[in-house]
Structure 1
Amino acid sequence: MIKVVIVDDEPKLRQGLQTLIPWGSLGYTVVAAAGNGREALKIIEEEAPEVVVADIRMPVMDGLQLIEQVRAAGHNTQFIILSGYADFEYAKQAIRYGVAGYLLKPVNIGEMSATLQLVRERIEEEERKRTSPQTETLDRDLYLHRLLVPQEKPGESIRLGAGIGQPDWLWSGSYEVVVIVPRVPEAELPDALNRLAAGLKAMAEERDLGAVTIISPYVVLLLNAPLRGSQRRDNLYGEIRNIAAGIRFIAATGGAVTEAGLICNSYSKAREAAKLSFFSDRDRLLEPDYPPVCPPVPAGLTEDNNEEYMRDLILRLYYCLDVGNKAMVAQLLNEAAAMYCGQRQDENHVKQAFFFLCNGIIHKLAAASRLEGKETEKVSHFLNGIYQHDRLQQLIEDIRRFLLDFVEESDTQGKEHEFKRMIDFIHKHYAEDLKLSTLAGLLNYSTPYLGQLFRMKTGEYFNTYLDKVRIQRAKELLAQGMKVYEVAEQVGYTSVNYFFSKFKKYEGRSPSDYKNP
């Protein structure tokens, strides 16, 4: 049985996890529980558990500090992290630490069980690797590996006559490398590689195409003649798909080379091409230097202002849901995709960025009481699913559909409907840094036109109307006994002096006078 330690500062949650999760049937046993990271460290030293289930935010020592301490001590422990909606920054670090699972509170029994199943398979596979006897490497595979992996001296040619087990076709003088990467969970990778390699070897030997070997995580097909033309590439891709028989995969070519000593170059280019599969437009044999399929990069966006841009994007998407602008949700998501494509970010970086983007929006929805308890499982499933997508366009579409479930709907339409939405929006978000240009962008109007429309409908300039909404709310808070500087911040003024001047302008007296008549 796999030993587990549960770490959480909430006694009810610790007890709930121990009693509600079917640990025994999943192959686990809970050996201890702790209320914080410091207590857990002592238990981990004594019990040496394979798995730790820990809350991300705890007193004395939180989940992240616990991971750091355990990693520093050299323990090969798998961590499953539990997190609330508000733990956005903590979650970001947890993902970077390579935790085995990330679940939102309240914990769903089914989702926790599924995560534990995957973790157990990972542990069992690592154990098999440690204990299984090392089989002697076949001469043929050893020779192929020497061809594919760059030699110690760059540019040094392989001496064909001195190789061991070299196939006769290496004298052909023209080659091409194709790599196949199974898209399966880590625990299933060895089996998938062996199945694909066996099928490809049978095909290659039957048709005298070349040789096949495994260099994890790749199955490598070394062709004894280059693929000429798109039809041959498409045909080979179709044959690989038939051999895969349901295994999801990526296939990429490194292009033709004219001597055995350059086969390593084709292999290197094939691996680089495979890394760009996430940005491709369809299932195909990927090629070196194939341009990613992405929208145009937003003007003025650089890597230096990425974080500021993402914070603004979270806010704009949240606002779009609030005013019901479905079209702009898709536009903004495509804009984010274009940013990462333009900066040549890798697949994991892009998925991580969209994870944090969605988590930021979900946090705002939860803070505004727009998420019901029954939706927690749906949200958790969606966030974890972000990392399972094979294509960027599929990921964008999935995020778009998910976010549109939270769009504020209304029975009325037309300009009157839009204007009512705008007024409601101001009354909900008055405490934020609202600008007329922000509303104009959300409603697809020019800023000057919306300003004229607003004044015509309300008789007030936008900023005047916003000030009056803020001052009215300030009066209510002052009447409740809040301090002046607290009220100023609560209603959206960063300067207390500025708040004083605005209050006196509209009320004819200072906030202090209003508070103490």
Structure 2
Amino acid sequence: MKVVIVDDEPKLRQGLQTLIPWESLGLTVTATAANGNEAVEIIEKEPPDIVVVDIRMPLMDGLQLIQYLTSAGLQLQFIILSGYADFEYAKQAIKYGVAGYLLKPVDIKEMTHTLKQVRERIEEERLKQGINQTELINRDWVLHNLLLPQDKKEAPAQLRSMAKEAGLLRSCYEVVIVFPRVSDASRSDALQQLSEALKRTIEGKAMGMVTIRFPYVIVLLHEPLRGAERREKLYREIRNAASDIRFVAATGGAVSELEEVSGSYLKAQELIKQAFFSEKGRLLGPNPSHHPLTESCRQSGDNAEGMMEEFISRLYYSLDAGNGTMILPLLKEAAAFFLMQEQDENAVKESFFFLSNAVVHKLTSGYRKETKETDEVSRFLKGIFEYEHLDDLLDETHRFLLNLAEDSEPGGKDKEVKIMINTIHRHYADNLKLETLAGMLNYSTAYLGQLFKNKTGEYFNTYLDRVRIQKAKELLGQGMKVYEAAERVGYTSVNYFHSKFKKYEGRSPSDFKNP
């Protein structure tokens, strides 16, 4: 299969050509290009099978190239190369059906794995397109035909005749599919192992028929799975057949007509795609319940961008102040909001990537010491896209963020006030509000304000103003201009800064400034 590499970095183009074992993968690099315009000329003359493309390039970037080639009707597989800074931009390419997304610097092993996966996908598509419809009727072929969408099937009468000849004519059907959660390199072996083991159980007990339709093992049951007990029993059978293979399984529900079998199959496929939001260790079925998080999600009129900034801010202040008890509830609230926005699995993972990356950046920049090595942060961020269940993603994100802020939590009976004072001294220049801290500490605004007044003798805003004015005095004493000092300590209005300064110092900022 032919590959074209498109990247504006000559060293990267040369490195990929040299370091990737193209021949052993059954691939060959036929051309390279430094930008989208060059790539268009090359690809239109001799279309490849796979295009490896950088997302940011001069003249025509990677996204524009993908848009152009896709709209031109070319059936190509794209693998995107991107830096962390380009992540939001690269997300747009997902709707064009990119086959792979790799972060720079490129990991050769990961790149090799992705290329192999894409090649096998192309081979599978070609195999499906090349089925000989006139081959000798057999049970597997008839079952595969039943799984096809209605407009691709044989005529109903002919389909019923073939099903009868193959011994598949029944009064009821139910499709169960099993998807092995293994690497693409191991998928064929896993499918074979699962199929053979399930045949001994399902076909041995005359319960139905088992076949492979890549990337699934298909079970066509002759009787519906009525009741939770029968579903649990079948799930145990699949688990025993899988042995040490991780998997997810789903049923599309019972149907009574041959023409409806494909509908059951499609429903099961959709459930497999939604497995990320489901409970672990059970057979997924029709009419799935919403994830428990959505039940507790508050309705909000805020837009998604505004809510994301709020989650970032609340997580950051909670971690920076050492209030670890609020992290998991905040993460669950964020996840619930993403679900209420009807985000799919990829979108939820992208949202968690953006959220975590922003919090990590705020925590590890500025005056706070870096608490994690860069490679560990990178592994965590990349690993977000590997989680198979939302609950696992929440738990791991919670663990990682807590480790970022370990040993930072203040103690003592006045813990809440210490957190507030600590936060004021760290973030006096930010738009600090008592409401924000109240949400962070899980108290009402009125209660927390009174608690702060009782312990410090001053209201929250008064204390914040005093800290800001003290910092402004230091800056003015260093020769900073009045408007610069005002902005540096968090006042957006110079006139307001003047009034506050006179209130607490008895003179104007310009009087205080050193000549």
The TM-score bracket by the shorter chain reads: 0.7 to 0.9
Q: State the Cα distance separating 1:312 from its structure 2 match.
A: 0.7
Per the alignment, residue 113 of structure 2 pairs with 118
In 2, Cα distance between equivalents of 1:257 and 1:75: 35
User: 1:122: Cα distance to partner?
Assistant: 2.6
Amino acid at match of 1:238: R
CA distance in 2, matches of 1:476, 1:48: 66
* 2:496 corresponds to: 498
- Letter of the 2:8 counterpart: V
Question: Counterpart amino acid of 2:147?
Answer: L
Moved more, 490-499 or 507-516: 507-516
Q: Distance in 2 between matches of 1:332 and 1:146?
A: 48
1:173 to 167, 171, 174: 171
Task: Give the direction of change, closer, same or farther, for the CA distance of 1:484–1:197 in structure 2 (3 Å limit).
Answer: farther
Structure 1 unaligned segments of length 5 or more: list them. 9-13
Distance 1:173 1:130 in 2: 33
- Alpha carbons of structure 1 residues 59 and 439: separation in structure 2 relative to 1, 3 Å: farther
Instruction: Tell me the residue number matched to 2:142.
Output: 143
In terms of mean alpha carbon deviation, does 333-342 or 92-101 score higher? Answer: 92-101
CA distance in 1 between counterparts of 2:36 and 2:158 reads 59
For residue 461 of structure 2, give the secondary structure of its aligned residue in structure 1. helix
What SS does structure 2 have at the residue aligned with 1:291? coil
Contact 1:23 1:29 in 2 (8 A): no
Judge conservation of contact 1:210–1:221 (CA < 8 Å) in 2.
yes
* Secondary structure at the counterpart of residue 164 of structure 1: helix
Q: 1:496, 1:249 → 2: CA distance?
A: 62
Preserved contact between residue 21 and residue 112 of structure 2 (Cα < 8 Å): no
Match of 2:19 in 1: 23
Query: Amino acid of the residue matched to residue 111 of structure 2?
Result: L
Give, in whole Å, the separation in 1 of the partners of 2:81 and 2:367. 24
Aligned to 1:315: 313
**2:110 is the alignment partner of 1:134:** no
SS in 2 for 1:253: strand
Give 1:22 shift. 7.7
CA contact (8 A) 2:142 2:166 kept: no
Give the secondary structure class of the aligned counterpart of 2:107: helix
SS at match of 2:150: coil
Distance across 2 between alignment mates of 1:172 and 1:280: 32
Match status 1:100 vs 2:100: yes
Amino acid at match of 1:23: L
- Equivalent residue pairs, number: 503
- CA spacing shift, 1:301–1:483, aligned 2, 3 Å: farther
Q: Taking structure 1 as reference, are residues 19 and 469 closer, same or farther at Cα in structure 2, changes over 3 Å only?
A: farther
- Measure, in 1, the Cα distance between the counterparts of 2:383 and 2:353: 9
Distance 1:483 1:99, change over 3 A: farther
State the shift of 1:214 in Å. Answer: 4.3
What CA deviation, in whole Å up to 9, does each residue of 1:121-173 have, x standing for no partner?
1343256458879353563444334433442499x993378533545654431
- 1:227 maps onto 2:225 in alignment: yes
2:450 — aligned with what?
452
Identity over aligned residues, as a percent? 50
Per-residue displacement from partner, 1:163-184 (whole Å, max 9, x unpaired)? Answer: 3354565443122221222334
Aligned mates of 1:217, 1:355 — CA distance in 2: 28
Q: Do 2:77 and 2:99's aligned partners in 1 also have CA atoms closer than 8 Å?
A: no
| CA deviation string 1:424-478 (max 9, x = no partner) | 2112112222111222232333322322232233332211221222233334445
CA distance, structure 1, for counterparts of residue 146 and residue 159 of structure 2 = 13
- Distance in 1 between the 2:191 and 2:301 partners? 37
Question: TM-score, normalised to structure 2's length?
Answer: 0.80
Offset from partner CA, 1:373-424 (integer Å, 9 cap, x none): 9622212221222222222211111111111111252485223444333222
Do the aligned partners of 2:372 and 2:404 also contact (CA within 8 Å) in 1?
A: no
1:59, 1:508 → 2: CA distance? Answer: 58
Identify which of 278, 281, 286 aligns with 1:280. 278
Q: Distance in 1 between matches of 2:177 and 2:267?
A: 10
Q: What is the Cα deviation at residue 490 of structure 1?
A: 3.3
Does the Cα contact within 8 Å between 1:37 and 1:62 map onto a contact in 2? yes
**Relative CO higher for 1 or 2, CA cutoff 8 Å, sep ≥ 6?**
1
Partner amino acid, structure 2, of 1:460: E
Change (3 A) 1:273 1:52: closer
Query: RMSD of aligned C-alpha atoms?
Result: 4.2
SS of the residue 1:282 aligns to: coil
Residues 490 and 80 of structure 1: is their aligned pair in 2 closer, same or farther, counting only changes over 3 Å?
A: farther
Q: Is the 8 A contact 2:146 2:258 kept in 1?
A: yes
Q: Deviations over 1:62-85 (max 9, x none)?
A: 66556656766758464443424x
Tell me the CA shift for residue 316 of structure 1.
0.8
Provide the residue aligned with 1:7 in structure 2: 8
Of residues 182-191 and 327-336 in structure 1, the stretch that sits farther from structure 2 once superposed is 182-191
Equivalent residue, structure 2, for 1:441: 439
Residues 66 and 127 of structure 1, relative CA distance in 2, 3 Å threshold: closer
Q: Using the TM superposition, name which of 174-183 and 415-424 deviates more.
A: 415-424
Cα separation, 1, equivalents of 2:429 and 2:111: 43
Unaligned stretches of 5+ in structure 2?
none
The TM-score normalised by the length of structure 1 is 0.80
1:17 is displaced (CA, Å) by 9.4
Measured against aligned partners, the alpha-carbon deviations of 1:233-288 in whole angstroms (never above 9, x if no partner) come to: 22222222233343332211122233334334433433343344222223111121
Residue equivalent to 1:83: 83
What is the letter of the counterpart of residue 443 of structure 1?
L
Contact 2:322/2:410 (8 A) holds in 1: no
Aligned partners of 2:297 and 2:340 also within 8 Å: no
Further displaced range: 36-45 or 272-281: 36-45
